[in-house]
A and B are shown apart, each in its own frame.
Chain A
Amino acid sequence: MSTNAQDLEKLTSGDYKYGFVTDIEADTVPKGLNEAVIRMISQKKNEPEWMTEWRLKAFRMWRKMEEPHWAHVDFPPIDYQDISYYSAPKMKDGPKSLDEVDPELLATYEKLGIPLKEQELLAGVAVDAVFDSVSVATTFKEKLHEMGIIFCSFSEAVQDHPDLVKKYLGSVVPATDNFFAALNSAVFTDGSFVYIPQGVRCPMELSTYFRINSLGTGQFERTLIVAEEGAYVSYLEGCTAPIRDENQLHAAVVELVALDNAEIKYSTVQNWYPGDKDGKGGIYNFVTKRGKCAGVNSKISWTQVETGSAITWKYPSCILAGDNSVGEFYSVAVTNNRQQADTGTKMIHIGKNTRSTIVSKGISAGYSQNTYRGLVKIGKNADGARNFSQCDSMLMGDKCGAHTFPYIENHNSTAQMEHEATTSKIGEDQIFYCNQRGISTEDAVNMIVNGFCKEVFRELPMEFAVEAQKLLGISLEGSVG
């Protein structure tokens, strides 16, 4: 192997330096899952009876379901009775200040340009004063409130806006939709709720970031976003900074509802602990994300940059029910070392003249497996439906895998579909060309990979896009720096 190839391998085999374990003292319910545990969770959250019943119903169905294994991922059996389903973690031996935090982690925060206060928060520094920084968030909240926008934690929504929650919860992802969604429905702890009233354009990107009181990655998060007629919202989930988390299994559910002429833009950057070189200790991320374009001319667009987790199982989808509605999916999924990602989308065309666009970029390095799985379904009444799909894979080295499974179900002869797929290798010749112009291998890889992902980054809100580009470099750089 030439040194260029070795460099490439070295570049992509760096340890994830950001995962570390701390003892936590937590307010935890006993391990295991049964009706009593669910009632206890519901009670701790002071939920109304209907919410408790909803959870229990989901749980009863979940018990009859089987863990799905059709995805191109491989993991040891999960013992669902060996998990504690409710914990409010308290740091005991967490770092007292940033001086005690892994310098590598700080270097990453520095590279990403994260302010000091937020670094403390992300690194789990046990400082009460951290919450001083909520003042910014409060200012935002007041402004949103004036416009009638509701942006709060899911728990608050259950208390303060029960009618809205009742009306829309489970309306896109039914409690029994799939094994992980059912599990989430039974035990979800918290998440976000967003409601944009008729005709209102949310003036800022909404982000979990500003909702600082519930920052952190809930193990079973629940998000519900409703855009009324003519409303618009852009929502950012996650954070480019690596976030510590002790929970191995994550099963979130996100539901979006867009009514007539409404638009929801949902962007995610996911950078959870992927495990060590052998894939040990990484997070399993089984997410159900679905949006319903319920109204005419509505639009839902998913953009995601996935670099973390040991296993990712995730298919943000759109149900295009309203006539002329539009669904979009833009995705970058990076896998390295032993990471496995099976991700893609479903575009379900029901209304007339519905349109969907799928752009998926998979980058595999190390020994990882990266799978795109997509379904485009055109219903029999979806006259004039159109889909464009583009799935590109890039391989770094020859020990990783890229797989593409585009499924099509067409029940309408007027539908137009276009599918393009490419697989490329990051070429030694490309790197040499850059080197010959003075550009280091590290920068060259960065440049080539970012070029490959350009169509997706373009869809991200500006600041997020810049961070995502840096993140991609960092995810692939590993030990070189």
Chain B
Amino acid sequence: MLEIRNLHARVEGKEILKGVDLTVNAGEIHAIMGPNGSGKSTLAGVLAGRELYEVTDGEVIYKGRNLLDLSPEERACEGVFLAFQYPIEIPGVSNTYFLKAALNAVRKYRGLAELDAVDFLALVKEKMQLVEMKHELLNRPVNEGFSGGEKKRNEILQMAVLNPTLGILDETDSGLDIDALRIVANGVNKLRSTENATVVVTHYQRLLNYIIPDFVHVLVDGRIVKSGDKDLAFHLEEHGYDWARELHDPAEQEA
């Protein structure tokens, strides 16, 4: 479904991704871990089409197409969903209105009829149960004044409503209390199918107790230096990233 080859990307002239390779198949869950500033959000942003990031080399094939050729909204309509590490506030625009606009934009792109208010609300209510979100948040402006945890749940609600093919969760677990973590993880698990795939970026092995990954990758300094199964996460938890850093000692690479 997704094939990333030798991906290089820059931010403000500074190279952040230095050759990422990653293959994700339908039905799989991949976890990406790595130290702060190693480029995890950059990778997520590049996949979603954030203009800030300039791709300098490599390619990304998604459902047989060159993903990098598509605009951010085309990618979204093609089923790429990014749960933001820091969800954005949009004052004055109600959460429901935003979600309906998003869903109908995606449906329109796919040649489906737009949902009317009644059908839409029924769908949202169903999905809200999945993330156990307070009903009042629907009528509030998008993310404005939401607590950290409420914002993260809102991201998952959006994901549930939009039902993406490729979900990328950027530290959705940060800032969640234990109960919320379980609820969000449950939500993700329920959305899981043989048709779609999920990439979760996280710092904590804890999340992976709830969302069991098929693969764990360690991203250090813009490269995936190690891949393994879920046990790799335990290893990282125990030993930190230092040993992984050594895996790609620049001196060693030059040699």
Name A residues whose Cβ lies closer than 8 Å to a Cβ of B: 2-5, 424, 427-430, 432-441, 443, 447-448, 450-455
Contact = CB atoms under 8 A, between A and B. Distances in A.
Contacts of B52: 2, 428
B93 A429 contact: no
B105 A443 contact: yes
Contacts of B50: 432
Nearest to B51: A2
Contacts of B89: 430
9 contacts: A428-B51, A430-B88, A432-B50, A435-B49, A436-B48, A438-B103, A439-B101, A439-B102, A439-B105
A438 B51 contact: no
Contact of B82 (A4, A427, A436, A443): A436
B215 interface: no
Interface stretch (B34-42, B72-80, B117-125, B130-138): B72-80
A436 B91 CA distance: 18
B172 interface: no
B101 to A, nearest CB: 6
A450 B90 contact: no
Contact of A3 (B51, B77, B82): B51
A282 B75 CA distance: 41
A326 to B, nearest CB: 25
B92 A454 contact: yes
B92 A432 contact: no
B92 A450 contact: yes
Contacts of B77: 438
A435 B52 CA distance: 14
A2 B141 CA distance: 27
Contact of B76 (A5, A438, A451, A452): A438
B62 interface: no
Contact of B73 (A430, A435, A448, A453): A435
Contacts of B76: 435-438
Interface of B: 48-52, 71-73, 75-77, 81-82, 84, 87-93, 97-98, 101-103, 105-106, 109, 141, 158, 162
Contacts of B90: 430, 433-434, 447-448, 451
Contact of A432 (B72, B103, B158, B162): B72
B73 A440 contact: yes
A395 B76 CA distance: 27
Given A435-B49, A437-B158, A452-B91, 5 more contacts: A3-B51, A5-B51, A433-B84, A443-B101, A450-B92
A437 B88 contact: no
B105 A440 contact: yes
Nearest to A447: B93
A453 B48 contact: no
A450 B93 CA distance: 8
Contacts of B48: 432, 436
Contacts of B162: 437-438
Nearest to A7: B51
Given A438-B109, A439-B102, A433 B92 contact: no
| Residue among B51, B71, B77, B84 with most chain A CB within 10 A | B51
Nearest to B50: A432
Contacts of A439: 73, 101-102, 105
| Residue among A424, A427, A428, A435 with most chain B CB within 10 A | A435
Nearest to A4: B51
Contact of B88 (A433, A438, A451): A433
A443 B104 CA distance: 12
Contacts of A433: 84, 87-88, 90
Contacts of A2: 51-52
Given A437-B158, A438-B106, A438-B109, A432 B51 contact: yes
A263 B161 CA distance: 46
A3 B72 CA distance: 11
B92 A429 contact: no
A175 B114 CA distance: 56
Contacts of A437: 76, 98, 101-102, 105-106, 158, 162
A447 B72 contact: no
A415 to B, nearest CB: 30
Contacts of B105: 437-440, 443
